[in-house]
Amino acid sequence: MLYQVDQSGKVEDTSKLTIVCVAGKKIKTLKISAREKRRLITTMRRLDYPKKIFIYKIFAALVFILIKEEKIDNLSIDKEYPGHEGFIKEIIFQFFKKVK
């Protein structure tokens, strides 16, 4: 089954709500408030993650939360972070390895 991912409000934009949606057999959405994003980013910075890396990790984690229990043959993620699709894909695979 083909699933598609779209994001409204980038993770790094801490003045807006972020909504990540996965559509396929089911439609699932996940919302993270601007306040929650600021807290999360502050925590990630304390852990000394470079900004450009932890933004992709947060996005990948949001996608993973939405798809982890679905049977997916093909996943298409909108061009949210051009040039970083491979890294985001790798992070999602790492999350799957950790839970299985």
Q: Which residues lie closer than 8 Å to 24 by C-beta, 6 or more apart?
A: 1, 2, 3, 4, 70, 72
Domain that residue 52 falls in: 2-99
In this predicted model, what pLDDT tens digit does every residue of 30-88 receive, in sequence order?
A: 999 999 999 998 898 888 777 778 899 999 999 999 999 988 889 999 888 999 999 99
Q: How many domains does the chain have?
A: 1
Model confidence band, residue 22 (pLDDT cutoffs 50, 70, 90): very high
Give dist(CA 11, CA 41) in Å, integer: 9
pLDDT mean over 21-31: 94
Model confidence band, residue 18 (pLDDT cutoffs 50, 70, 90): very high
Give the CA-trace dihedral at 45, 91, 78, 64, to 10 degrees: -90
Q: What pLDDT is attached to residue 34?
A: 96
Q: What pLDDT is attached to residue 14?
A: 93
Cα distances (Å, whole numbers) of residue 50 to 40, 46, 70, 79:
14, 10, 31, 21
Give dist(CA 56, CA 72) in Å, integer: 21
Nearest to 37 by CA among 60, 18, 63: 18
Going 46 to 35 to 28 to 83, the CA torsion angle's sign is: negative
